Chains A and B, each alone.
Chain A
Amino acid sequence: MLIRLVQRPEPSAGMVYVSPVIAVVLTILTSMVMFALLGVDPVKAVVTFFIEPISSLDGVAELCVKATPLILIGVGLSLGFQANVWNIGAEGQLVIGALAGGGLGLAFFDQSSVFLVPAMLVCGVLGGMAWAAIPAWLKTRFNTNEILTSLMLTYVGLLVLSYLVHGPWKDPEGQNFPESRLFHDSALLPILIDETRLNVGFLLALLVVVAGWVLISRHIIGFQIKVIGMAPMAASFAGFKEKRLIWLTLLISGGCAGLAGVIELSGAIGQIVPTISPGYGFTAIIVAFLGRLHPVGVMFAGLLMALTYLGGDSAQITMNLPNAVTGVFQGMLLFYLLASDVLIKYRLRIGAPKIQREAAQ
């Protein structure tokens, strides 16, 4: 039996939406096999992973808290990915944004002000933008590959964080733990539902989804981004300024990542700690693809991926599985998604190709 790929005359619009569903189903089936191999009852594991974490109000609130950075970063990255600008250093931009905003919070640790939170958010955005501006400048000025530079800067950013919490920003009254002081109450994002960690940050993420949708679907810049990604030659003939779009997409995605970082600090953590993010910047890459590089899709994908973090935690607590399962699960999902995406452009055909017989007749 021979399975062939036959190019569709036009990419299938339906498959764009079916493919993520196929990928999720295949991932769940494969992880059931994986759970069985690890000696765990697969059905119970899937229930623990995907259903238990969101079976309470507290769980749903926590889901939104975890989804907030994923959605924010995912929306930003998806703009760049559409223009073939591969910012994969969002993790570093998140950290620097968090440090910029969190640094302001620390500076005013003993003062109360209604302007503190907005100022921290702005600093977070600017910090993320500044970190993303480096690969943007290097790419537009020196033609340097942004994948490698943005990733290298992630390592640098994480080391800056490590330096600050172990050194100058360490809590002077904190028994030498590598943590900063706690922020003042007025530096914390307002909580939406009492007794949970759900904060205003989630609303900001939804706002960014709407803004991203307007930009990509209703604005000339979104049109230019799409053209430059699909047909770079056409874009240059049309006179779109490629360098400007590189700057723009990197600054937007960096700004979103920085905002995610400061929201994480001021909304969920409340002080600067050595690990601000469990890899949200990298997971958001998967979120962007799973969400079909569309802001609304990214929102759903962000919620789903947030569930894998909660699932990993709950599997660790109740079933004693290492929470690295989350990473395996996320990687597998992206593999299946990329594989299923072949069905957008190609049809599967079974059997050998029909041989042309005109010559014989």
Chain B
Amino acid sequence: MALYSEKVMDHFRNPRNAGVIENADGVGEVGNAKCGDIMKIYLKIDNDTVSDVKFETFGCGSAIASSSMATEMIKGKPLSEALELSNKAVAEALDGLPAYKMHCSVLAEEAIKAAVKDYYDKNGIKYDKSLFPDCESCAHCSIE
């Protein structure tokens, strides 16, 4: 199907880092079943570095591909870099997403941030709250 780039299809067909980390240091879940996509990110953190990352996704092809690409982009990276990962960077790394699928890359960015926030919260680490906009501020899931 020409709907997606070859890169999206590759990550969709052969997702990297799919799965679960038992006793993960940080877990973030965003989205909801109502709009048809949920992304869950599991992080293993060692010395402020993402030593391992896994994802579970309920959603369309681009949601799965975005999760796969985003996890690949932060694996082995310092937390500070993982937090800088933007949805745009994920979409660009996938050679672009159709306009109405851009929210899938947003979910990937937010799921990673939510997982890092969970890690900070669990370990009593202080952080700048403005880096973590809450789910409510996003209009994506506002279905009547």
A-B complex is real: no
Chain B residues proximal to chain A, CB less than 8 Å: none
